[in-house]
Every structure is written in C-alpha cells, then in structure tokens.
Chain A
Amino acid sequence: MEEREIAFLTVPFGPQHPASGHFHALLKVDGETVLELEPHPGYLHRGFEKLMEYRVHPQNCVLVDRADVLDPFSCELGYANAIEKIAGLEIPERGRYIRTIMAELGRILSHITWIGVLSMVLGFDSANKIAWGDREKILRLNEIATGGRLYPCYLCIGGVRRDISREFVDETSKALDYLEGQLSFYDYFVFKNETFVMRMEKVGRMSAKEAIDLGATGPNLRACGIDYDVRKDEPYEVYPKVEFNVITREEGDAYARSLCRRDEIAESISIVRQLLKNLPDGPYRVELGPGCITLEGESYFCLESARGEKCFHVVSDGSPCPYRVKIRAPSFLHTLSEFPYLARGSTIADIPAIYWSLDSCPADMDR
C-alpha cells in the first residue's frame, strides 16, 4: 500500500517570542493547519520545591510568591494555610478578613493582566495598553498595604504582617469604583468587539467530559458547564460568610472562557466590597513566640487561585525546614495536556488565542 507523504514545516513557538510568555513548543504545520503540538516545558524551572527544603518557614513564606508571578497572593495563602493546618493555629478574624480581601484583589489583578496579554497576542494593541494602565490601580493598592508592588511578602504564618490603614480602605473603594467603570468599557470595546468575537468564538472547544479527563480546573472547567469552585465546595478563610455566584457557561470555547473571567472580575469586586463593609476590629496576627517554628505532620490544602485549583502538600518532620513541599500548579495541566489536545487541527493563527484563553502562567507551570 502506498503512503502519501505530507510535507510539513516545523515552526517554533517561543520561548523568545512576543506571544508565548516563556514557554517553548514545536508546531508541526501543513500550510496553515497545525498537525501536532509538542510542548517543551522547563524554561523557567528554578527547582522551587527543592529549594524550599533548605529554608525555614518564615523565609519560605516571603519567597513562595515567586511560584506564580501573576497571582502571588494565592501562593502565600496556600503555604501559610498548609503550615497552620499542621500546627493547628487559629487565626484572628481580622487577619482572615484581610487575607481574603488581598486574595480577591490578586484575582482581579491576574484577570486584568490576562485581558492585556490576550489582547496583545490577538493584535489588539489598544486593549493591551489600556489594561496595563488599569493594573496600576491595584498595584498601587498593593503598595499601600504591603510595601511592594508585585511581590507582596504580606501573608505570613499566623496572619498578616502589618495592619491595613484607613488610607487603604479609602483607596480600595475608589479603585473598585474605577474598575467597575472600566468593566463596562471592556464590555463594549473588547468582549463585544466584532474582531475579538471572530477570533475567539468556536475556537478551542472542550466538552465537559474532555475537560474533566484533561484535568482542567478554574474558569477553563467552569466554561464547559461544570459547577466546581473550591471557594464554594471546600471553603477556606472567610468565604462561607460572603455571598457570590459561581460563573459557568455552556459552550466551552475560548470566548466562553473569556466571558467567565470577565464575570469573575465583577464577582470579586462585589466580594471585596462586602468584606470591607464587615471588617472587624481586633488583632491581625497570632504571636508565635521566639525561636524557630518546628512542626511535625503533613497537610494538604486546596485553594482557588485565578488560574484554577492550587494545592499545597507540606510534609514536616520536626526540623525548622519542611521535609517536602509539593505545589499542584493549575497551569501545568492546562499547558501540557489541554493545550496540545486543543491545538490539533487548528490553524497557526488560533494557537496564541487558545494558549492565552487557557490562562497559563509559565512561572506557575515550571516552578
């Protein structure tokens, strides 16, 4: 039997590339159709989990926000909660409220950054520039509360490291009002823009069963119609006391994922408003006493980061350093199992759209 040979080009996608972040993939292309996508992760691998075994717990707390650069509060929250679960610490109410406020602000920041980068790879220059200007409002809030813009080093074992001031509460209310106005701008300029819809509709479609098989979590899963959110199903911090909706959509394509994230920004704004209204007084940190924290035990803590479900598995054997830390990063499965599956059969022009609609952070994937 004769076999037809298909001549194909091998096109590299990144890592030095405006569209791929720091992620390398090889595309096998026939004309404009992608036959196969081979991901090569590891460009940003720093040996994070191993390095955490050589540092004591307070040092790990300030370094762990580099494990997911675009949503650092989720990493700090996860590590602190995992250690507190082993130690059996009770965090005061004000500390919990402040932690939840910062986690939700981090989610808004991550989603606005995502709008900016997605627009850049679609060639949508204007939305990219305007989104990166809107980020500045939240980075200013970070600066007021924690002293640093991108790496907050704020949530620690026992609560938060400083109290929030009156200035922070005022600035946050102003910033949230501004962001709500910007959401209506993004609605008519980005999400209902004819060219954006043309690029994203019916692209990268996943059914519900495929999404579960491929290990999707977060907005990627909720866009396929499955109602799973760690904040509702296994609540942590103050989430049992706030009212919010879990956003789901039915179609499962890139446009549905985008609309999911846009609605999540609106939900997070309302959560922060509720929390600021009900903020209690009192201590914000548990005093741990002098000396190093030594723990013995094991814990597994899950939380909902902006990308999906992030879990921390910490094993401690009585020494000041943890014995093993394992971070379940949501971007790992998004990039390594969903992306090649969805990319097969699409065109080259769809590849950046699919990749960024899955919202994967290369720092999170490689750790």
Chain B
Amino acid sequence: MRKMGYLSDKFSRTFTPFGIVKNLFRKPMTLQFPYESLPPVEGYRGRHVLDLDKCNGCCICCMICPNKAIGLVDFRGRKYPQVNLGKCCFCQLCEEYCNVKAITLSKEAMMVTMDKESAILGPEALSKLPTQ
C-alpha cells in the first residue's frame, strides 16, 4: 500500500510541472527598457543637486561622506562641493547632515558615462536641475 502511495506521488509529481504551459497565455513579466519602464519613486536616491545660494561652504558633507567622494573647489569666489559620482555610494548622508539643505539627492538615475572624468561633477554641473 505504501508502495502504491509512493508511485502515485511520483506520477503526479511528473505531470503537474506541465502546468507552466499556462504562462503562454499571459503577458510576459519583462519590461522592455527603454521603451517601457517603471516610473521612479519619490525619494529615490539619485544624482545630487546643489543650491548655490544656500550653500555656505561649511564642508560637513565632505567630512561625513563615507567614501570621500565630495571635495571642495573654488567657484565664483566661494567654496562649493564637487562630487565624484564614481566613488559615491548614494547613501544620502550628505543631505541628512547638511544644516541648510543645500545639497539634495534627486530622482535622476541615468548617469552612465564612458569616461571617468565626466563622472566628477563640479558645482556648476551639480546646480543644474535634472531633466527627468
């Protein structure tokens, strides 16, 4: 009797996986990027945006960055942060510790580039709002 139960178990286990055939009648779960994609959420940690008026050059963001991706440069006579996107880990600590909320993270995620130099964004590039 136990042998019959074991054999019927084996039998049903061989045939039930064919239930996957019903996937043929459903839409595939792939989203073909870039033609279709999920919309980015509010609060996504993307590219930094710098507000040149609010920043006072206190360099707290440089000190708190875990990977030392932020440096200070001269621009228009004052000191402003410059972000190396290659080193940045997008942890948002710079936004959290900035006293005046001058540096924030936007939703922009398309930051792919072919050369390392263009991954270092100076204050002017950072101040441009993202196009998304």
Contact = CB atoms under 8 A, between A and B. Distances in A.
Direct contact of A and B (CB under 8 A): yes
Interface string B1-27: 000000000101110110110000000
Interface stretch (A185-193, A254-262, A266-274): A185-193
Contact of A62 (B19, B89, B105): B89
A147 B44 contact: yes
Contacts of A18: none
Interface residues of A, number: 24
B64 A58 contact: yes
Contacts of A148: 44-45, 90
Interface of B: 10, 12-14, 16-17, 19-20, 29-30, 38, 41, 43-45, 64-66, 89-93, 96-97, 105
A189 B41 contact: no
Given A62-B91, A62-B93, A188-B19, A147 B13 contact: no
B10 A153 contact: no
Contact of A197 (B13, B43, B90, B93): B13
Interface in A147-173: 147-148, 151, 153, 161-162
Given A133-B29, A189-B17, A192-B13, A63 B66 contact: yes
Nearest to A151: B89
A162 B89 contact: no
10 contacts: A58-B64, A59-B66, A62-B89, A147-B44, A148-B45, A151-B89, A153-B45, A189-B17, A194-B14, A197-B13
A133 B23 CA distance: 13
A197 B16 CA distance: 13
A46 interface: no
Given A55-B66, A153-B92, A143 B17 contact: no
B38 A192 contact: no
Contacts of A63: 66, 89, 91
Contacts of A192: 12-13, 16
A143 B19 contact: no
A194 B38 CA distance: 37
B53 to A, nearest CB: 24
Contacts of B105: 147
Given A133-B29, A161-B92, 11 more contacts: A55-B66, A58-B97, A62-B66, A62-B89, A63-B66, A126-B20, A143-B41, A147-B92, A192-B13, A193-B16, A194-B13
